[in-house]
Each structure stands twice: as C-alpha cells, then as structure tokens.
Amino acid sequence: MLMNKTLHTEYGKIEYILQRKNMKNMRLKIDKGRIVVSCAKSVKIKNIEEFIVKHLNWIVETQKKIERKKDGILPSDFLAGETFSFLGNTYTLEIVVSQQEKAVLSGERLLLCVKEETLERKKNLFLKWLTSNAKSIMQERLQSLYPQFQRQIVKMPKLVIRKMKSRWGSANIHKHIITLNTLLVLAPVPCIDYVIVHELAHYIHANHSKDFYAVVAEHIPDWKQRRMYLNKQFSLDF
C-alpha cells in the first residue's frame, strides 16, 4: 500500500511516499528523485518522520547528486535551447512546428519537428530518435568487439536494447542475448565498449570473480576508469 505524505522540516516541506508491508526494519531510499520509506504496518507516523529527519542530510545530498547527474544529460522540459548528451558530446535542442514529424541531428543541434509543441510529442519523438540510434550504434560496437571473444563464444549473441532501471547491461547466456540500456548511448563510446565487454565476459565466467575481471581487463585494461566515469557522469535514475 502506497501513500503520499508531507513532512515540514528545517529544509522546508518534504514530500515522501510511505509503503507499508510485512518487514522488520524501516528502509529509506531515493527512487527517481522521490523519497520512499518502507516499514511495517504497525510503525507510527511519528517514528517514521523522526527516521526521515535523522537522514535529512543524506536525502538532500543524494537528491542534489541526482540533479547534478541529470543536468545537461537529458532534456527536462524539452524546450528549445536545452542541452543533452549523445555519445558523450553535448547537443542543443531546436523545436520546429511541422506537419512532418522527424528528428534530425545537424552539427551540434538536434532539430525536433513536431505537429504540436506539446511536452508529450517532443519527448516521444526524442526518445524514438534516441532508441533508433542506440540500436544501430550498439549493434555496430558489438560486431566490432565480438571477434575478440570468438574462440570462447562461437556465435555472436543477439542484441536487445531497452530502458533498464538498475543496470547498464545484462547477459542471458541460456537465451544467448545481451541486453543494453537505451540510455547507455548518452555516454562516450569507450564506456559503451566497456559495458559490452563486461557482458561478453559473462559468457566465459558467469559471475563477478577475479577470473571474470581478469577477462575484462585483458580486453579493456582501463575498465575501472571507464566504469567510474560512466557511473559518476551518467545516471540510471531518469
């Protein structure tokens, strides 16, 4: 059961989502910028709010961190002049009302042609463009990197692109599928290559053991730096 609650603090009004379920300990998390508290049905509101106040500094800093990651990475209101990242480079949105809806990348601008200048139309067109490019770019990178693993992986895995909430990629060895997060295309190619190599390495070691990371390091010696940059500069929480 989910309930929307409001708490007045030194930071001003704080809204949070209360989730009551069968559990022993109280838990606090930030989900897509929202405060979510999970606890047992018997816990009093007073105790819940004391728990939130106790963790206020962490909440504020975490929300600021999320906002910093979002800034300039993806458009927020899809207005002309907003910037976003694509393959690690910064581009600017330009909006045009047109009977033919399309998205065209020209120089450092992405032109969104929409029939009506509504947030929904602009956002849908942008995500359609992003997904289409993610599929072609990541397929090309997989085809480029796969030959390095051809001795251990006889057939190149099928690639699936979709929005993922908690990871950049995953490997389903039984179905012979590698899934990559659509938002990975926001990051530079070296970061994309790191994630692909990470998933291909799982076909050799289906875990995160020392042997697994040795395989990753064999193909990408600076994988730690690439992973750190990816997770620091780009957020899954959009």
pLDDT tens column, 65-105: 677 556 678 888 899 999 999 999 999 999 999 999 999 99
Q: Are residues 178 and 141 in the same domain?
A: yes
Q: How much is the pTM? A: 0.73
- 198: CATH: 3.30.2010.10
Q: Are residues 163 and 218 in the same domain?
A: yes
Asked if 167 and 236 count as a contact pair (C-beta separation under 8 A), the reply is yes
Please give the average per-residue pLDDT across 26-42, as a whole number. 89
Number of domains in the chain: 3
Does residue 75 lie in a domain region?
A: no
* DSSP H or E run through 142: helix 119-145
Does residue 95 lie in a domain region?
A: yes
| Residue 188, pLDDT score | 97
CA–CA distance, 70 with 168 (Å, rounded to integer): 16
Please give the average per-residue pLDDT across 3-15, as a whole number. 84
Q: Are residues 210 and 119 in the same domain?
A: no
Q: Are residues 102 and 123 in the same domain?
A: yes
Q: What is the mean pLDDT of the chain?
A: 91
Q: Are residues 153 and 204 in the same domain?
A: yes
Q: Are residues 144 and 198 in the same domain?
A: yes
Please give the average per-residue pLDDT across 48-54, as a whole number. 92
Residues sharing a CB contact under 8 Å with residue 54, sequence separation 6 or more, in sequence order: none
Closest by CA to 193, choosing from 40, 34, 87, is 87
| Least confident span in 22-31, 87-96, 127-136 | 22-31
